[in-house]
């Protein structure tokens, strides 16, 4: 069987691309699109950094501001993730359930391991999307262009949230001149995978 026609190998390869996406800033899967629906039923999509992917837990982890509108749209709700790897010519359309965690020891560990520069954006004075009188980073003036100290970053901690996606389905599409291929894998049927029309 050719590797591109072996369903378990395809699923493992899709996860290996996601794992790489979580670990390698240069991977095109490092910045997937995360889509949600608001309380009016309107769709919202935005690019986010994929921090970690784990096949054994069927999970993805991302970071965000706890005050951002997407948190309410996503916590405990369905989520869609879209990513395309041009080198592999593979599109992944992932669906799952999102969960936002802010307080436990795992989140604390992730916060402490982030660089001070990465943590600095959580010092923003207003929730993302707040109207501003003019162009601004939203950061307090005293920290613009500077790395905060461990002490200065303390007040940012309540604004830090981790977004966990429990993956329930992966729709894999591979583009090739010899013929496109598409398969859908669902946790509900043990990730067995089914071929579908591209
Ligand atoms: C390359 C790139 C990476 C981004 N990474 C994140 C991220 O990891 N977390 C995040 O909350 N927003 C990230 N953003 C900003 C979001 O796309 C979005 O503008 C912001 O989170 C507000 O979204 P919301 O109003 O839907 O909550 C990123 C944007 C770009 C362009």
Give just the sign of the alpha carbon dihedral 7, 9, 12, 13: negative
Ligand 1 centre and the CA of 175: distance in Å? Answer: 28
Q: Which of 47, 51, 80, 124 to mutate to test the pocket of ligand 1 (most atoms within 8 A of CB)?
A: 47
- Percent of the chain exceeding pLDDT 90 equals 96
Query: What is the per-residue pLDDT across 118-167, written as a single tens digit (0 to 9) for each?
Result: 999 999 999 999 999 999 999 999 999 999 999 999 999 999 999 999 99
Mean pLDDT of the chain: 96
Provide CB contacts within 8 A for 98, sequence distance 6+: 36, 74, 75, 76, 77, 78, 79, 163, 164, 165, 166
What pLDDT score does 2 carry? 66
How far, CA to CA in Å, does 194 sit from each of 73, 129, 157, 172, 184? 30, 41, 43, 10, 5
Closest ligand 1 atom to 129 CA: 25
Q: Which long-range contacts (CB under 8 A, 24 or more apart) does 112-118 make?
A: 114/63, 116/147, 116/148, 116/149, 116/150, 116/153, 117/147
Average pLDDT score over residue span 169-186: 97
Q: Which helix (H) or strand (E) holds 187?
A: none
Please name the residue whose Cα sits nearest to atom 5 of ligand 1: 48
Closest ligand 1 atom to 69 CA: 27
Question: pTM of the full predicted structure?
Answer: 0.96
Average pLDDT score over residue span 48-76: 98
Query: What is the per-residue pLDDT across 98-116, written as a single tens digit (0 to 9) for each?
Result: 999 999 999 999 999 999 9
Closest ligand 1 atom to 68 CA: 27
User: Is it the case that residue 1 has pLDDT exceeding 70?
Assistant: no
- Beta strands, E only, 67-127: 78-85, 90-101
Residues spanned by the domain of 8: 3-195
Average pLDDT score over residue span 73-91: 98
CB 184 within 8 A of CB 91: no
**Pocket lining for ligand 1, CB < 6 angstroms:** 31, 44, 46-49, 62-65, 68-70, 128-129
What's the domain count of the chain? 1
Average pLDDT score over residue span 84-96: 98
* DSSP state for residue 67 in the 8-state scheme: T
Please name the residue whose Cα sits nearest to atom 14 of ligand 1: 48
Tokens 């009188």 label which residue?
Answer: 133
Assign residue 158 the CATH number of its domain: 2.30.110.10
Average pLDDT score over residue span 164-171: 98
CB 108 within 8 A of CB 127: no
Ligand 1 centre and the CA of 48: distance in Å? Answer: 5
Average pLDDT score over residue span 5-19: 97
For residue 159, is it left (φ>0), alpha (ψ between -120 and 50) or beta?
alpha
């Amino acid at each position: 069987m050719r590797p591109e026609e072996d369903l378990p190998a395809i699923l493992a390869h899709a996860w290996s691309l996601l794992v790489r996406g979580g670990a390698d800033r240069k991977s095109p899967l490092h910045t997937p699109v995360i889509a949600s629906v608001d309380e009016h039923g309107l769709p919202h999509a935005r690019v986010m950094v994929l921090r970690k992917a784990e096949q054994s837990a069927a999970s993805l982890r991302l970071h965000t501001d706890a005050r951002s509108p997407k948190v309410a749209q996503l916590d405990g709700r369905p989520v869609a993730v879209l990513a395309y790897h041009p080198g592999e010519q593979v599109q992944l359309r992932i669906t799952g359930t999102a969960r936002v965690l802010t307080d436990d020891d795992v989140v604390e560990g992730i916060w402490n391991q982030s660089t001070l520069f990465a943590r600095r954006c959580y010092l923003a004075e207003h929730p993302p999307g707040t109207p501003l009188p003019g162009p601004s980073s939203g950061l307090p003036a005293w920290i613009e262009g500077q790395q905060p100290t461990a002490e200065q970053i303390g007040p940012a901690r309540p604004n830090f949230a981790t977004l966990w996606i429990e993956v329930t389905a992966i729709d894999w599409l591979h583009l090739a001149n010899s013929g496109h291929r598409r398969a859908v894998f669902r946790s509900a049927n043990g990730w067995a995978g089914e071929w579908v029309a591209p």
